[in-house]
Structure 1
Amino acid sequence: QAITRELLLTGNDQLVDAELAPVRRDFRPPADGQLPVRNVVVILMESFAGRFVGALGSGEGITPNFDRLAEEGLLFSRFFANGTHTHQGMFASMACFPNLPGFEYLMQTPEGGNRFSGLPQLLSARAFNDLYVYNGDFAWDNQSGFFSNQGMTRFIGRGDYVDPVVADPTWGVSDQDMFTRAAEELGQLDRGKPFYALLQTLSNHTPYALPEQLPVAAVEGHGALDQHLTAMRYSDWALGQFFDKVRDQPWFEQTLFVVVGDHGFGAPEEVTEMDLLRFHVPLLLIAPGITERFGSHREVVGTQVDVVPTIMGRLGGEVRHQCWGRDLLSLAADDPGFGIVKPSGSDQTVALIRGDRVLVQPKEQPARLYRYRLGREPAGERLAAAEDRPQLLRQLYAYLQTATASLLANTSGDRERDAVPLASADGPTEPPRTPSQARKASEG
């Protein structure tokens, strides 16, 4: 717990209820970090891999609209998904909880019934209206159950579209249908009260439900990736259309837009045996005054669990939360940032990313430390010896153990009456890898 708290708490945090919850704190963002916004729109982009984003160094021309938007906002170049499936991107970005070994399908487990200190909880307490617009069926991955339990109330899914451009029997409607409906719904939400919304794309996912007449040129020359990159280019086009529609709306200049990929996908290159390119995604913040205050580019490392604290820092005001991330825009200048990631499913490899290095811990094998490079020519270089390797390993184990114990004790949200105090750990050991192992660890 002490190691985890040292990782997460900054000079703007004051730990509270230390005997009950591991990272509950009062966060007081710097006054000069607040932006003149009252609304929040999070756009979770399906399979929006950083490797193929022009603003992050790609030369393939897949994302001209995102690249144009990046010129008016703040882009994070070392940002990563916590997992490699969409549902992990959902709960990490909105519920502020990491992807843990043994709980990769959190939204479908009993522990997913917990309340988490995420955007729905924090902004519902401030009387924000809410909206979730999605192409597909909210029954998938228990999205409706999970997010209803977190506090969201307004859902627009595949059965709510009239005469969509695409009506695919597997996935639902196209991204342009989703964004068109989202623009309409957001205009109706602008009725005096502040609002937050989650808009989630889907077209860039097999079997790629795209219009017969594509509004963009098909991608060629990338072999097996051609169809995937064509779908990504189409999603990028739909994103651009959305911003063109809403830019003149009265609520636009009062809104913080957060555009983030849910995960990446494999590329010809492979960065470490866990392949960071499957995790590397863009994070783009667009809001009035953001570039004047924070600039247009940041290299600090972050993951999706940092999204909620970063949003709360821009809204301003003290907030009590227990997110497993930090406000990326109120860190000390010499803080390189960190992130802990894990692939989906049965692969129990975990990794700690810090600055330009990544410590990869495969199951029952020695950890390996790399220096990595992203952008146009991504690569990884094995570091045979490093003085801080033991410290990085302790931090990785501590974070995973503490988060797992908190999940099992239900002390990561606002339902505390049934919670039990957390057992303290004597030191770093193997991180829990299955629910049964995790429960044994949390029991001491």
Structure 2
Amino acid sequence: MFARFLFAGLALLALLALLLKSLILLWSPASFAALSSAQQLEAIVWGFRFDLAAASLVWAPFALLCWLSVRLLRQRRLSWLWWWAPALLLTAMQLGDLMYFDNSGRHVGYEIRELTREFAGLFDTALKQYSLPMLGLLAVGLATALLCRRGAVLQGRLGPLRIELPLLLALLVAAVGIRGSLTELPMKPDRAYDIGNPQQALLSLNPAYAMLSGLLASSKGQASNPLYRQLPAPSNKALALLEPQRLRAAEPYQAPTRQVNVVLMLLESWPAEVMHSYNPAAPTKPAVTPNFDALHAKGLRTDGLLAGGRRTVEGFFGALCSYQNPLEAGVPNTALQSLPYHCLPELLSQAGWSTAVFQGMHKGETGSFAQQLGTQHSYGKLEMPPAQVEKNSWGYQDPDLYRFVVAQAKRETAPFFYMINNTTTHDDQLPPGEPWVFGKEDAKARQLSVLHYADKALGDFIRAFEQANIGPTLFVITADHTAGERSGHLGRYWIPFLLYATDGSVPARHVPGIGAQQDIAPTIMEYLGGRAPWFAGHSLLSQPPQGAGYATSGSLGWVSGKTVIEYPLQHPDQLTCYDWQQDLAMTTPQPCPAQASALRDLSWASTWYQQSLLFQGQTREFGRVDPASLLRNDSATQTAGGSATTQPAG
């Protein structure tokens, strides 16, 4: 009876994990529209190994507790509540992942530890934005708890053969499920990409297992298995395309000398595709961001940038360090966090600038990470005066945050570099009395109304700052990332970009092309008279955008002009091309232009090179290290059976 209870419990949990994982097809069908029904079924079944691993991780502790109740408390009644608790845990994790997927287009992974720190804000947001699923979870939990009160009764003598032996066998099965193979402990979520199709990989991976694996890795300070390892080594011809970057990196470092204030606005989740200044075809009337659109005509602007990730810390790393994040991941909460980086806040702090980061919510991981990158001060909602505007679920609304920034700027006696991550668009609620310009009937309408309110606060902030006579200031206005379902892969990473100087030192002009978030730091450095040759991006003051890339669902994309190319990491020869100006949703592939292969090779070589240096702790050597030597060392390491190190080399 005890053996049947243990193995039936594990089997039921594994089946539940598989069924819960399949809900994503109903939740976000557009994300998997490119897969046939057969491919979807194949991915779900192929990924059962992750469902078993998730079930094993949550079942093993409860199986042990059940055994203790039998042995220590002499309990003979086996209630199915022992199964109900881990089942409810799996369901809650799946629901949380669906909410996260709705905003990021990927599963929760390494971010899980930081998300647990912000549990109160997340829970409040979930209740408001996903009230129906949350109420459904509560109702199902209560109903099934009543059903699971019943159970079986252990009869006869409870010897080791009837109790301990089944427990050991069940734990052995669970251990095999978690390992997934004889070479991994535990099985890494990245193995989902072994299926060969990135969209199928996204569907096959069990979100609960990705969360639990992320918690385990972050608790040990481990970096995830480098995803770029799935990218075949580039050819020497492809590596030769990096030569212009190597020539630039050979130039000496030059400290900034122009004593001017800089305000870098990493606007929370602002998507370029809904802004008329970037996407005239945006269907919204009136304009969602009229204040930004008006300011847009007064400064230097491109056709936008591509964000370096889908989370704030990823945006901060790309913008401040001018470098790629780990593919589809971030630096914090991994061993990469302890490696040396020489980023813009550190360089400006050393040159005499007062540096600070401002957030309307808790300082949290982003504030700490910015300080690790050389920022002197970090301010969050606990450091701010009482709010004048009713807060949202996360903290201060933008008008109060901006008032605090202006007050701090007035106190500065040295040039300052401020980074601002606003809070209003982190939620979908407005203060009492504010109009819902685009309605509030559904999530999209609420988000547009909140963005419109945040844009008004932005315009008021710029005007208040200029009226305060704080001194010549360069405003770099962009976003940290986007959120929610956007139009295609490009839309998920497409963010605004504007340089505006209060003293008119940046002429108003439009530079065609989409750049990269990594271009921000070198642009600021050039404006201030400095140069950091190890920055991977390019200054947009002296050069037009050189193109930009993104990583999503096991594929790499690259945009240059109006062309977007995409290819799977494991199969760079499978090239797909789009015209984003005509097809932003990227639903209709176009014949690839003549330069597509060269763009693919550049993106391939650049990604492999940057990722190799990142995981070896040598980002400051970008451009100085011969990629051919890295290729030889990497080949030798792979031949010897090694893996990418996450410790500084030498």
**TM-score higher than 0.5:** yes
Give the match for residue 41 of structure 1.
263
One-letter amino acid matched to 2:383: D
Residues 118-156 of structure 1: CA distance to partner in whole angstroms, max 9, x if unpaired?
2112212211111211111122xx223322221112111
Q: Does 1:120 align with 2:340?
A: no
Q: Does 1:185 align with 2:408?
A: yes
Counterparts of 1:244 and 1:52, CA distance in 2: 24
Residues 302-321 of structure 1: CA distance to partner in whole angstroms, max 9, x if unpaired?
1111000011111114x334
Give the match for residue 617 of structure 2.
410
Give the match for residue 448 of structure 2.
229
One-letter amino acid matched to 2:356: L
Structure 1 SS opposite 2:564: strand
Distance 1:115 1:352, change over 3 A: same
Give the match for residue 589 of structure 2.
382
TM-score, structure 2 length as denominator? Answer: 0.55
Structure 1 unaligned blocks of 5 or more: 17-24
Q: CA deviation at 1:264?
A: 2.6
Counterparts of 2:245 and 2:515, CA distance in 1: 15
Residues 55-107 of structure 1: CA distance to partner in whole angstroms, max 9, x if unpaired?
222352110111121122122214221222222111111222213326x1212
Candidates 554, 573, 594, aligned match of 1:348 = 554
* Identity over aligned pairs, percent: 22
Matched-pair contact (CA < 8 Å) for 2:389–2:431 = yes
Q: CA deviation at 1:437?
A: 5.7
Q: How does 1:206-285 map to 2 (within 5 A)?
A: 206=427, 208-214=428-434, 216-220=435-439, 223-252=442-471, 254-266=472-484, 270-271=487-488, 275-285=489-499
Candidates 290, 307, 314, aligned match of 1:64 = 290
Matched-pair contact (CA < 8 Å) for 1:264–1:281 = yes
Matched-pair contact (CA < 8 Å) for 2:523–2:538 = yes
Counterparts of 1:391 and 1:427, CA distance in 2: 25
Candidates 339, 347, 359, aligned match of 2:565 = 359
Matched-pair contact (CA < 8 Å) for 2:357–2:370 = no
Root-mean-square deviation (CA, aligned residues, Å) is 3.5
Candidates 578, 584, 587, aligned match of 1:370 = 578
Matched-pair contact (CA < 8 Å) for 1:264–1:278 = yes
Structure 2 unaligned blocks of 5 or more: 1-233
Counterparts of 2:484 and 2:243, CA distance in 1: 30
Give the match for residue 51 of structure 1.
273
Counterparts of 1:135 and 1:5, CA distance in 2: 45
Counterparts of 1:143 and 1:303, CA distance in 2: 20
Give the match for residue 95 of structure 1.
321
Q: CA deviation at 1:110?
A: 1.8
Q: How does 1:306-317 map to 2 (within 5 A)?
A: 306-317=519-530
Distance 1:299 1:379, change over 3 A: farther
Q: Does 1:144 align with 2:350?
A: no
Q: CA deviation at 1:113?
A: 2.5
Counterparts of 1:249 and 1:8, CA distance in 2: 47
Counterparts of 2:372 and 2:643, CA distance in 1: 27
Matched-pair contact (CA < 8 Å) for 1:40–1:256 = yes
Counterparts of 2:506 and 2:248, CA distance in 1: 28
Q: Which has more radius of gyration?
A: 2
Counterparts of 1:241 and 1:349, CA distance in 2: 41
Q: Does 1:197 align with 2:418?
A: yes
Counterparts of 2:375 and 2:245, CA distance in 1: 29
Counterparts of 1:313 and 1:154, CA distance in 2: 24
Matched-pair contact (CA < 8 Å) for 1:171–1:209 = no
Distance 1:4 1:186, change over 3 A: farther
Distance 1:217 1:117, change over 3 A: same
TM-score, structure 1 length as denominator? Answer: 0.79
Structure 2 SS opposite 1:242: helix
One-letter amino acid matched to 1:98: Q
Residues 394-439 of structure 1: CA distance to partner in whole angstroms, max 9, x if unpaired?
222211221112112212249xxxx9x994226999xx9xxx9644
One-letter amino acid matched to 1:257: F
Matched-pair contact (CA < 8 Å) for 1:263–1:281 = yes
Structure 2 SS opposite 1:204: helix
Q: Does 1:79 align with 2:313?
A: no
Residues 308-354 of structure 1: CA distance to partner in whole angstroms, max 9, x if unpaired?
0011111114x3341121112222xxx651112124xxx32221211
Matched-pair contact (CA < 8 Å) for 1:84–1:264 = yes
Distance 1:169 1:227, change over 3 A: closer
One-letter amino acid matched to 1:296: R
Matched-pair contact (CA < 8 Å) for 1:219–1:227 = yes
Distance 1:169 1:255, change over 3 A: closer
Matched-pair contact (CA < 8 Å) for 2:271–2:496 = yes
Structure 2 SS opposite 1:173: coil
Matched-pair contact (CA < 8 Å) for 2:440–2:449 = no
Number of corresponding residues: 397
Higher strand share: 1
Q: Does 1:325 align with 2:537?
A: yes
Counterparts of 1:92 and 1:236, CA distance in 2: 24
Give the match for residue 297 of structure 1.
510
Matched-pair contact (CA < 8 Å) for 2:248–2:533 = no
Q: CA deviation at 1:300?
A: 2.7
Give the match for residue 21 of structure 1.
none
Matched-pair contact (CA < 8 Å) for 1:74–1:298 = yes
Relative contact order higher in (CA < 8 Å, ≥ 6 apart): 1
Distance 1:385 1:210, change over 3 A: closer
Matched-pair contact (CA < 8 Å) for 1:73–1:291 = yes
Distance 1:91 1:4, change over 3 A: farther
Higher helix share: 2
Segment of structure 1 superposing worse, 193-202 or 319-328: 319-328
Counterparts of 1:352 and 1:222, CA distance in 2: 36
Give the match for residue 26 of structure 1.
252
Structure 1 SS opposite 2:316: helix
Residues 339-373 of structure 1: CA distance to partner in whole angstroms, max 9, x if unpaired?
12124xxx322212112111112354523122211
